[in-house]
Amino acid sequence: MKKLLIAVIASSLLCSTVYAAELAPLQSDTEPDRTDWTQLDTKYGALPKVDKTLKVGGVSKTLTNEYWRSLGQGYQNVAKKYGFTVAYQAAANEDDQLGQLSIAETLISQGFNGLLVSPQTDSNLEPALETANSKNIPVVNVNDAVMPNAQYYVGNVQKDNGVRVAKWFIEHHPQGGKVAVIEGQPGVYAAGQRTRGFKETLQANGKFTLAASVPANWSREQAFNAASTILQQHPDLIGFYANNDTMALGVVEAVRAQNKASQVAIFGTDGISDAYASIKRGELTGTVDSFPVLTGEVAMDVMIRLVNGQKLSRVISTPQALITKENVEAFSTKDNSRLRQLLTQ
């Protein structure tokens, strides 16, 4: 299966040489052609009138992770508001790269007017992107893997997730100490950038030692096993940063099992409800919330503009915030208007 996927992607990339030459490989964190989500109306005007016959396809990594279900809820919120059709589908799991590609290609063949895609890796949906480009169907890459040939991307600054956590450690542990990273899936842009932001910020401080940095492939069980081993090897460890909340919650279990909860700080990324609940219980130290429902709403706003012929920045950046016990209650609001106010203060 992996050989087949590689062959399909290689063929697509070969066919898209001319297109790629016109568009520099996307690095979403550093792309200079960007607009903040709060500036869409100011820069491009009010949202165009929405045709109720519009059909938008959403292609997710998986629905087993709350983050991706929440992103889809954001898509549905906008579709319900304006009365058009959205189909949100996902692969069976985060390793089903061919299954995700098949979903994207099927939506294209069914005549959907645009695709909002969250690739499992930076390359597995490239063939679908090429097909959509050939049919002039707009495609928006929405968090968190990044297709190099994507013309549009909506999401937060992935590197800043790790930077925010590192700054917390610098503030709360001025003497430094040993820390570890539980990485996501190897080869995925977001995982690499989150880890890089954390490492580089602590290295610049000069008082911290990176005891370990190992992938757990977004898996709670793998994170539990990796964290258990790291704690045994480094009993003086003071903290973990996990590339997503699912893995962070696995780390919480490992830390608790070794009776080190008072010693070891644990941070995740995404801001899922289980992470918020864990923070309130005093288990998880924090998470970097990237507000998936709001991100989904912004991405659909971008799609509506593209379908109506607007030319937008290549990257539309969405918000993120470090959530700890100090602000978890405020950011637990279910009031979308209130959340937007908090994020623009």
Where do the domains of the chain lie? 34-156+291-318, 158-289
Residue 250 host element (H or E): helix 245-257
* Distance separating alpha carbons of residues 20 and 178, to the nearest angstrom: 43
E strand or H helix at 192: helix 189-205
Q: Which residues contact residue 169 at a Cβ distance below 8 angstroms, ignoring those fewer than 6 apart?
A: 177, 179, 202, 208, 238, 239, 265
pTM over 0.75: yes
Q: With contact defined as beta carbons under 8 Å apart, do 218 and 145 qualify?
A: no
**In which order are the strands placed within the sheet that holds 139-142?**
34-36, 315-317, 152-155, 139-142, 114-117, 55-60, 85-90
Tens digit of pLDDT at every position of the chain (345 positions): 444 444 444 444 444 444 444 789 999 999 999 999 999 999 999 999 999 999 999 999 999 999 999 999 999 999 999 999 999 999 999 889 999 999 999 999 999 999 999 999 999 999 999 999 999 999 999 998 999 999 999 999 999 999 999 999 999 999 999 999 999 999 899 999 999 999 999 999 999 999 999 999 999 999 999 999 999 999 999 999 999 999 999 999 999 999 999 999 999 999 999 999 999 999 999 999 999 999 999 999 999 999 999 999 999 999 999 999 999 999 999 898 899 999 998
34-156+291-318 with 158-289: one CATH topology?
yes
- What pLDDT, on the 0 to 100 scale, is given for residue 336? 86
Nearest alpha-carbon partner for 241 in 191, 291, 308, 185 = 191
Burial class (CB in 10 A: 0-12, 13-18, 19+), 177: middle
- Give the pLDDT of residue 345: 85
Minimal CA–CA distance to 66: which of 195, 249, 194? Answer: 249
Q: Are strands 286-289 and 321-323 parallel, antiparallel or unpaired?
A: antiparallel
CATH T-level topology, domain 34-156+291-318:
Rossmann fold (3.40.50)
**Fold classification of 158-289 (topology level):** Rossmann fold (3.40.50)
